[in-house]
Chains A and B, each alone.
Chain A
Amino acid sequence: DTEVTQTPKHLVMGMTNKKSLKCEQHMGHRAMYWYKQKAKKPPELMFVYSYEKLSINESVPSRFSPECPNSSLLNLHLHALQPEDSALYLCASSQESQGGADTQYFGPGTRLTVL
């Protein structure tokens, strides 16, 4: 089973709203990732959690706040977003193996629209 789930599938929010994206995996993976993807572009890495600790933050604005409550869950808290933050937000997980594939498996994404 290589399933990563994400909720909600679609989200529309105003610039003053606070919302959260949720990601869950039950594959025993120890690394989890947030990516942002604009239309017709490749995904851009935002954050990496390794063993529930933030290991990579790609200089993401503070209006995006990640949280990893446990090894299966990853949240992305959103506050005071801008219209240019509208995008597909993808979550991924991987086993965190030192050598070899460490394949990242992606969820279906959340399509976010900021009005």
Chain B
Amino acid sequence: AQKITQTQPGMFVQEKEAVTLDCTYDTSDPSYGLFWYKQPSSGEMIFLIYQGSYDQQNATEGRYSLNFQKARKSANLVISASQLGDSAMYFCAMREGWQAGTALIFGKGTTLSVSS
């Protein structure tokens, strides 16, 4: 079974609109972290936002917020006021356990296209 599922291969949004990118996860470990990365066509993976399994509040970083619903095992990324520069591939990732140096498990990604 996939540990990270991103069901939207592609999403289209107009500038200044908000968009939600879906991510569901599967783990039996009570300690885990969830991450979102942005990858423009240039290739660099840019860290956007992090949510820990014990965090009580949803994470926010500027225009990015993470809608964390623990019981549903979902960690959707919300981008408010989309910009043309937001066009990129977005990956949801999970780190299981609190052991240091643990690998990230990535979803298949969602391509976001922002139009003017």
Interface residues of A (CB under 8 A from B): 2, 30-31, 33, 40-43, 45, 48, 50, 55-56, 58, 88, 90, 92, 94, 96-109, 111
Q: Give B97-110 as 1s and 0s: 1 = Cβ < 8 Å from A's Cβ atoms.
A: 01111111011110
On whether the beta carbons of B44 and A96 are closer than 8 Å, the reply is no
Q: Is the interface of B mostly helix, strand, loop or mixed?
A: loop
- The complex places the Cα of A115 from the Cα of B45 at a distance, in Å, of 26
- The complex places the Cα of A97 from the Cα of B102 at a distance, in Å, of 10
Interface residues of B (CB under 8 A from A): 31, 33, 35, 37, 42-47, 50, 52, 89, 91, 95, 98-104, 106-109
On whether the beta carbons of A97 and B100 are closer than 8 Å, the reply is yes
Query: Among the listed B33, B42, B98, B99, which residue makes an inter-chain contact with A108, where contact means beta carbons less than 8 Å apart?
Result: B42
On whether the beta carbons of B98 and A99 are closer than 8 Å, the reply is yes
- The complex places the Cα of A90 from the Cα of B52 at a distance, in Å, of 24
Residues A42 and B107 in contact in the complex (CB < 8 Å), given A97-B100, A103-B35, A103-B50: yes
29 inter-chain pairs at a CB distance below 8 angstroms, sorted by A residue, are A2-B47, A33-B103, A40-B89, A40-B109, A42-B108, A48-B101, A50-B101, A58-B103, A88-B43, A90-B43, A90-B45, A92-B45, A96-B100, A98-B98, A100-B33, A100-B52, A100-B98, A101-B33, A101-B50, A101-B52, A102-B33, A102-B95, A102-B100, A102-B101, A103-B47, A103-B50, A105-B47, A106-B37, A108-B43
